[in-house]
Structure 1
Amino acid sequence: MKGFLGFLGFVLLSQGIGGIVCQLTGGWFRLWALTHRIGFLDGYEIYVCVLLVVLGVAVLFAAESAGKRA
C-alpha cells in the first residue's frame, strides 16, 4: 500500500508542478503536463495544478503514515 500511495503521490505532484511550469513559461513544457489537454479546464489550469500539488503532498504524507503503521 505504501508503494502504491507513494507512486500516486509522485504522479500527482509531478503533474501539478509540470502544469504550473507549463502555464508560467507560456506552454514550453506541454509534453510534461496533462492538465492543458482537458477541455473543460480551460482558464482554470493553474488552479487545478495547485490542487494537484496539494493532493500529491497529502498522498505522500499518507503513504509515509501508512508505512509507519505497518
Structure 2
Amino acid sequence: MRKLLGFIGFIALFQGAGGLVHELTGRLGWGFVHRWSVLDGYEIYASVALLVLAVALFAAAESRGSG
C-alpha cells in the first residue's frame, strides 16, 4: 500500500507541476489538467490542488510504515 500511495503521489505531483508550468509559460502541454473542458478557467487551482494532494499522499505513505 505504501508503494501505491507513493506512486499515485508522484503522478499527482508530476501532473500538478506540469499544469502550473503550462499555465504560467504556455509550454509543456503534456498534462491532463488543461485538457478537461470542465476546468476551463480553473487550471491553476486544479494544479495547486494536485500538488497539495501529492503532499498528502506522500505523508500518508510515510505514516503507513514499511510494507
TM range (shorter): over 0.9
Q: Distance in 2 between matches of 1:48 and 1:14?
A: 13
- TM-superposition CA deviations, 1:7-50 (whole Å, max 9, x none): 00100111001100010112x1002x110000110000000000
1:38 pairs with one of 14, 36, 39? 36
Structure 1, unaligned runs of 5 or more: none
Percent identity, please. 52
Question: Where does residue 25 of structure 1 map in the other structure?
Answer: 25
TM-score computed with the length of structure 2 as normaliser: 0.94
Residue 57 of structure 1 aligns to a residue whose secondary structure is: helix
Residue 67 of structure 1 aligns to a residue whose secondary structure is: coil
How many equivalent residue pairs? 67
Structure 2 counterpart of 1:30, one-letter code: G
Structure 2, unaligned runs of 5 or more: none
Computed over aligned residues only, the root mean square deviation of the Cα atoms, in angstroms, reads 1.1
Q: Distance in 2 between matches of 1:29 and 1:67?
A: 35
Q: Distance in 2 between matches of 1:67 and 1:49?
A: 28
